[in-house]
Amino acid sequence: MASALRTLDDQMLAMAKTECNEEQSQREAMVATLKVWITKSPHLKAPTDEQLILAFLRRCRYSQEEAKRRFDNYYSLRSVFPEVLGSRQVDEALLTQLQRGIHVIPARPVSPQGPRVIISPFRQIDPKKSNPREAFKLVFILLELLALECDNATISGLVWVVDARDVTMEQMLQYDPFLLKKAFALVDQCLPLRFVEIHMINMRREGQTIFNFVTKFLPSKLPFKFVVHKKSEDLYEHIPREAMTIEYGGTNGYQAEALDYWRQRLLDHKDYLARDAQYGTNEKLRVGLASAWANGELNGMSGSFRKLELD
């Protein structure tokens, strides 16, 4: 039976070896091993899509045990983060969120073998029409589609550009620390993709205050480069203009073109995402230690930024 895994060109083969410890002669066997583990784990109900499993292996540099742990985490977290990971229906509400331009994935990566870019202009998140949980839901759906479809993303990683221009205090006050802690846990311990850099651009004074507050709840050593810029122009000291959309002075197509493309990809995966509701874990059937999420590792942190006093 022919493999369902995509083939790579010579440059990406070399990058996969360097970044992910990938050996082409072994990857099909290792994917098959993880498929068997998924089907034989009584507590785990999860898809066995080969390209998704490959993304987990790449994220873990082909450590079988680490890939199992991360895969298990990804589906275990759904029970305690349903507002973001549950009910992933491609409906008008989700498509409307996309069309608002709250997350934009330009057509090309940073370079032919480089990471993919996500741009999130948070001023587009209207607190009267949506909330951060819906914005997180959309971005994590898009990230899973990247894991399924984009070798640059699974091999070279992601660069996330968060644009804070014209963001109001009303918008920022929606982000409570508990939500951010769970979102960080999802990125750090569950997601089958690696963030290389996160850039916050056009940061205003109030945003800087909240940013400083948020970082108190994150590990002292982050697994990615986190940079705050006052101006968007400063971003180009880190990534080429060719990576950003025309609206930002780049050459990577118009935002509207990217939104149209991803709207179609969401529609193409409508059935895939509808089936997603059945997946997760049953901790009563788990053999061995309960998951960290089931033990309440993410509990005990609540509140909001409304308690902050700004100068």
Q: What is the pLDDT of residues 125-135, one digit of tens each?
A: 776 776 778 88
Out of 53-57, 230-234, 300-304, pick the least confident.
Answer: 300-304
pLDDT confidence of residue 203: 78
Average pLDDT for residues 256-280, to the nearest whole number? 95
Rounded Cα gap, residues 54 and 264, in angstroms: 24
Task: Note the pLDDT tens digit of each residue in 159-178.
Answer: 999 888 877 666 666 777 77
Q: How far is the C-alpha of 85 from the C-alpha of 133, rounded, in Å? A: 10
CA neighbor of 246 nearest in space, from 237, 257, 255? 255
- Long-range contacts made by residues 87-95, C-beta under 8 angstroms, separation at least 24? 87/277, 88/137, 88/141, 88/273, 88/274, 88/276, 88/277, 89/273, 89/274, 90/266, 90/267, 90/269, 90/270, 90/273, 90/274, 93/134, 94/137, 94/138, 94/141, 94/266, 95/263, 95/266
Distance between CA atoms of 175 and 193, rounded to whole angstroms?
23
Coil, strand or helix: which one is 46?
coil
Supply 220's token pair. 């002292």
pLDDT tens for 96-123 read 999 999 999 999 999 999 999 999 987 7
pTM of the model: 0.89
Q: What is the mean pLDDT of residues 36-59?
A: 96
First to last CA, the chain: 65
Q: Residue 217: which of 190, 185, 173, 171 has the closest Cα? A: 185
Record the tokens describing residue 211, joined without a space: 């940013």
Residue 290 has pLDDT above 50, yes or no: yes
Please give the structure tokens belonging to residue 232: 């968007």
For tokens 């493999």, name the residue: 3
Q: What is the structure's pLDDT at 232?
A: 81
Question: What stretches of the chain adopt beta strand conformation (E)?
Answer: 44-45, 116-121, 158-163, 195-201, 225-228, 280-281
Please tell me which residue, 221 or 92, carries the higher pLDDT value: 92
Crossing angle for the helix pair 50-59 and 64-76, nearest 10 degrees? 110
Number of CB atoms found within 10 A of residue 294's CB: 16
pLDDT at position 306 is 38
